[in-house]
Structure 1
Amino acid sequence: MDLAFLYPLYERSGPWASVYVDLSRHAEDTPHERELTAQAVGRELAGQGADEPTCRAVTEAVDGLAHSTDPHGRAVFARAGEVLLDPPLARPPGGTLARWAPLPHVAPLLELAGEDPLCLVAYVDRRGADFELRSAVGSREAGSVTAQPWPLHRTATADWSERHFQLRVENTWESNAGEIADALAACQDEVRADLLILVGEQRECRAVHERLPQRLTDRVVEADHGIGSRLLDEEVEQARAEHVRRRAEAELGRFLAARSPDAEGRAGAVEGVPALVEAAREHRIDELLVRPDGPDTHREVWIGEAPDQVAVRRTDLKTLGEPRPWPTRADDAVIRSVVATDAAALSVTPATGTHEDTPAGGLGALLRWR
């Protein structure tokens, strides 16, 4: 997950209100329920010690979602009476969470908004293709391509032999498939889609697939269900979920290989809070791997004003020059350091079926250098 969008949260000091609102239920009484949720969130934050202007700002922001059509949910981050960020979620949070803490509680975003593969769906027929972008929060048109209109069907004519005409039909379709593949590749270059899903007759989709650049072939899925099928949406979601699983497995595999020391005893990955904190202070984290249910994610660490001021013990931070350390969650403290150094972060939950305890404690990292 690229965490650059979180920069505004670390340009100002805390404390912070962090709220995750579930918007996945849509019924006649939903607006009233969401108004009640907004009031409850304000009371919860006040009970945790949040200032009145921030409680009011968050209450108004959540109340403003009463008629929202967001399919899953939204996160709200606020301080000093101002909402600084309210990103949509790619998955429902399973309820409403409100927290008041020295740092914004962004760790849930790794699961709720992190891996949201962008799909470029191509509805293919012999006349061209229509393109559509799909993500967890909706879809939109992404252009189309119209290929050669004539001839497209095998029909006997008085002017040519049937064999000649059939060859001309095949030549036209081969050319059209190439044009569609070129347009699809150009669209992918522009939107940077993670997956390409081809929808249409099997033979036509296969012809387009075969003409795509080699760099895209491992991103292509040929849908079994055609245009207009009610099962197509399910198939797209399955493709997205499979992409997330493969990505998590690949990164977890890299981590498992890198944590073994080399001939000089140096490892390319670390796990556990003490080693992770040291790597964060030295700006060595290249990618943070998080298992959100791990016991170390909510372990207490100490932080200062600067992102690299993080320590396991309060006295260690004073040694680093921070006179007033604050306690906070380990996952949020390390993520702040990751954002400051332009590193990435990933939830490995989709890949932990056979590695339930990896990384140890739920926190690990691939390093920039051994």
Structure 2
Amino acid sequence: MELTFLDPVYARPGPYACAYLDTSRDVRDPEGAIRLRRRHLREDLAQQGADNATVAVVSDVAGTDRQVSGRHGQAIFASHGHLALVEELPDPPAHDAARFSALPDVMLLAVQHAPDIPYAAATVHRVAHPEASAPEELEVDFQTGRWPSSTVAPETRHHRSGPAAKWPHGAAEITGELTELIRRGRAEVIVLGGEGWARNVLENRLPDSLRERVVTVAGDGHAAGEGRALLEQELSEVFRGRMSERDRARVETFRARRTQHADAVEGMAAVVAALQRAQAGALLLNTPVDLPLRLWAGSEPTQIALSSAELESLGVLGFQEESPGAALIRAMVRTGAELVVVPREELSLGDGVGALLRYTDPGVPL
């Protein structure tokens, strides 16, 4: 999974105010609950030394995601009175959290983007007009996205309708539009729902190269609330336990290289050493995330270590202790490394982390 969506955070200098809060709308009096969360957020950031302007900008945006219904959360990052990034979270945090620190704590947001599977979804349903004696119509909705972030930040939903009797011809036109969206978004999975006959016609009109990616579901996608993805419930079933093709390939490569003791490392010490040299092409992270060690970090992304003494020996000035997630993700983003989130039961890693290396330094043991 690429982490370029985090670039706006690091484009601004620190220190950063970071907030994770539950902004679900499926509770009694959500506005009242969010007002209380907002007040606690302001108090927490102020107690940690955040400046008034930064506290205000975080507070102002907290809970403004009224267009998203149901259960979800929000992640907010700001510095020096300016908003750096705000994103919806598919799952609310277990506990609201506010932090003011030299490095932004983006780990939870990054993990909630995984497995970041590009997909397309389409559904067809029949509409009758008995009161107008009009012929039956078929309505089609289709949408592309990246799972699971698109559940609460869906892309444009396209809607088409036409006479049911002319559906074979109409399906051909719609698959032309859908195919273009699929190719543009590089969708790995195409999920089709709705009425069986109409859905099958739509599937059969797709090019052969795309038909093998199709998964059919029974739902019609119309239970989703405002600001939610088309076929959200069905997508959650389709993608449960699934990784993107790119991440799956990274995991298999790591398994093979670890067996050969070549170009793959695991454990916090080895991963940190690789990040110090901008050597990591991809970092593998076990979930649930449990990083046992604190890290030390300087002003530059590669200034990362397990101890202050190590940074001193490297001639680094102005460093401090940081949470491991904040230090690791900054180093990854700024050196162009990818993130692969993998369940611990599928691939257990020393200290919960591993790395695929871009190159091997002959003078440094793996």
- TM-score by length of structure 2 reads 0.78
Q: In structure 2, do the counterparts of structure 1 residues 292 and 83 end up closer, same or farther at CA, with 3 Å as the change threshold?
A: farther
- Residue 288 of structure 1: aligned partner: 283
Counterparts of 1:124-143 in structure 2 under 5 Å? 124=124, 130-133=140-143, 135-137=150-152, 139=154, 140-142=156-158
- Residue 320 of structure 1: aligned partner: 314
- Letter paired with 1:330: P
- SS state at 2:107 partner: coil
Deviations 1:281-315 (A, max 9, x none): 221222222125454x2522221111111122222
- Residue 259 of structure 2: aligned partner: 260
Percent identity for Structure 1 against Structure 2 = 30
- Residue 113 of structure 2: aligned partner: 113
- Residue 40 of structure 1: aligned partner: 40
Shift of the alpha carbon at 1:346?
2.8
CA distance in structure 1 between the partners assigned to 2:266 and 2:238 by the alignment: 31
Shift of the alpha carbon at 1:206?
4.3
How many residues align? The count is 338
- SS state at 1:33 partner: helix
- Residue 302 of structure 2: aligned partner: 308
- Whether the aligned pair in 2 keeps the contact of 1:199 and 1:225 (CA below 8 Å) is yes
Q: In structure 2, do the counterparts of structure 1 residues 200 and 25 end up closer, same or farther at CA, with 3 Å as the change threshold?
A: closer
- Which of 325, 346, 359 pairs up with 1:369? 359
Q: In structure 2, do the counterparts of structure 1 residues 216 and 79 end up closer, same or farther at CA, with 3 Å as the change threshold?
A: same
Structure with higher Rg: it is: 1
CA distance in structure 2 between the partners assigned to 1:232 and 1:68 by the alignment: 18
Q: In structure 2, do the counterparts of structure 1 residues 181 and 82 end up closer, same or farther at CA, with 3 Å as the change threshold?
A: closer
Shift of the alpha carbon at 1:124?
4.7
- Whether the aligned pair in 2 keeps the contact of 1:3 and 1:339 (CA below 8 Å) is yes
- Letter paired with 1:53: A
- SS state at 1:69 partner: coil
- Residue 161 of structure 1: aligned partner: none
CA distance in structure 2 between the partners assigned to 1:97 and 1:301 by the alignment: 20
- Residue 330 of structure 1: aligned partner: 324
Deviations 1:175-203 (A, max 9, x none): 77665544432221234434311224545
- Residue 353 of structure 1: aligned partner: 345
Q: In structure 2, do the counterparts of structure 1 residues 281 and 228 end up closer, same or farther at CA, with 3 Å as the change threshold?
A: closer
- Whether the aligned pair in 1 keeps the contact of 2:125 and 2:140 (CA below 8 Å) is no
- SS state at 1:104 partner: coil
CA distance in structure 2 between the partners assigned to 1:129 and 1:68 by the alignment: 24
Structure 1: segments with no counterpart, 5+ residues: 153-172
- Residue 239 of structure 1: aligned partner: 238
CA distance in structure 2 between the partners assigned to 1:36 and 1:103 by the alignment: 26
- Whether the aligned pair in 1 keeps the contact of 2:122 and 2:192 (CA below 8 Å) is yes
CA distance in structure 2 between the partners assigned to 1:68 and 1:228 by the alignment: 17
- After alignment, is 1-10 or 135-144 more displaced? 135-144
- Residue 192 of structure 2: aligned partner: 198
CA distance in structure 1 between the partners assigned to 2:37 and 2:246 by the alignment: 35
- Residue 122 of structure 2: aligned partner: 122
- After alignment, is 225-234 or 322-331 more displaced? 225-234
Q: In structure 2, do the counterparts of structure 1 residues 30 and 109 end up closer, same or farther at CA, with 3 Å as the change threshold?
A: same
Q: CA RMSD in A?
A: 3.4
Shift of the alpha carbon at 1:106?
0.6
CA distance in structure 2 between the partners assigned to 1:137 and 1:67 by the alignment: 11
